[in-house]
Structure 1
């Protein structure tokens, strides 16, 4: 459910940049983003009740460190397409949040009304855009091949 909006965004993001990436690496980075997002959601479900500090500091820090670790592997380090691979990784990472957001919404408010689901879906699509943008920023840093 969350993969479709992410793939549409990915299509419009990489259109016109075909010379800068390889299809195999795009697929691998999207799948890596899906897996990393899944494990990130599992981690967040355990840490979520730890307080405000975990919501503001720990969870975002963990998410960005995971994306940075994946992009700093041989996948994109030093290549011109690193921001594109970062966008793909971030979109895959963010696309996992739509199904989990709906499950959390349904379990907390015990119902699936159309207004609530619409709000949750739009918020989760915002997460897709956010993670795609942070993936681009991280990919730009990885492209410069500087140690930070």
Structure 2
């Protein structure tokens, strides 16, 4: 049974949970309509890009290192550019833009994450395989937050660069994981690396980026 194929509809469940976890404490500081709209747009965008990327990853074949770098560079640029275009839309430009970034990322990754595991059957690695889409979801939200903060703070170029480099690293790790799915040691080490990167991203976004970026000017002046 193809485990990855089951996660496309199920991807909405962890996406909604993560969205609530990340933005719930800011209730009253964002427009619910915009959160929902951003999530739906992210979902549609993710489905479109998922179909493009799914057709360009050689399933069941070893991916050479040079190809991994090319794929990672191209897909990272495509994804971050798409997020930038959506988040730069006029109807999302208010003080809650970083939260809309979370919504875009959550909706986007709910269809996108299974691309890495669609060819892996349920096995001894089932637990790790089931966790990977959730990690990808969190990592995608993080890069969207970086871009949203860049737009809000008028630092689009540098924040886009950070998001691109972050996404590039994530893609390399995931494609290597895809390559070594039947080699327990390499698979385990790569999974640990991805898990650690996700832990950093969640901590940095939840405790550093979002709280600071959601402060009003008066609150910032008090801190500074």
Alignment pair present for 1:91 and 2:100: no
Alignment pair present for 1:31 and 2:22: no
Shift of 1:38: 0.6
In the alignment, structure 1 segments of 5+ residues that lack a partner are 107-111
Count of matched residue positions in the alignment of Structure 1 and Structure 2: 141
* Larger Rg, first or second structure (1 or 2): 2
Aligned to 2:90: 74
Q: Deviations over 1:36-68 (max 9, x none)?
A: 111111111233359334322000110111011
Greater RCO (Cα-Cα under 8 Å, separation 6 or more): 1
Aligned to 2:68: 52
Aligned to 1:105: 119
- Give, in whole Å, the separation in 1 of the partners of 2:22 and 2:55: 33
Aligned to 2:78: 62
Alignment pair present for 1:15 and 2:43: no
Aligned to 1:125: 134
Aligned to 1:139: 148
- TM (norm. structure 2) is 0.57
- Give, in whole Å, the separation in 1 of the partners of 2:141 and 2:152: 16
Q: Deviations over 1:85-123 (max 9, x none)?
A: 001100111111345445x225xxxxx325444332211
In the alignment, structure 2 segments of 5+ residues that lack a partner are 1-9, 158-224
Bigger shift: residues 24-33 or 39-48? 39-48
Shift of 1:138: 1.0
Bigger shift: residues 13-22 or 62-71? 13-22
Asked if structure 2 preserves the Cα contact closer than 8 Å seen for 1:33 and 1:93, the reply is yes
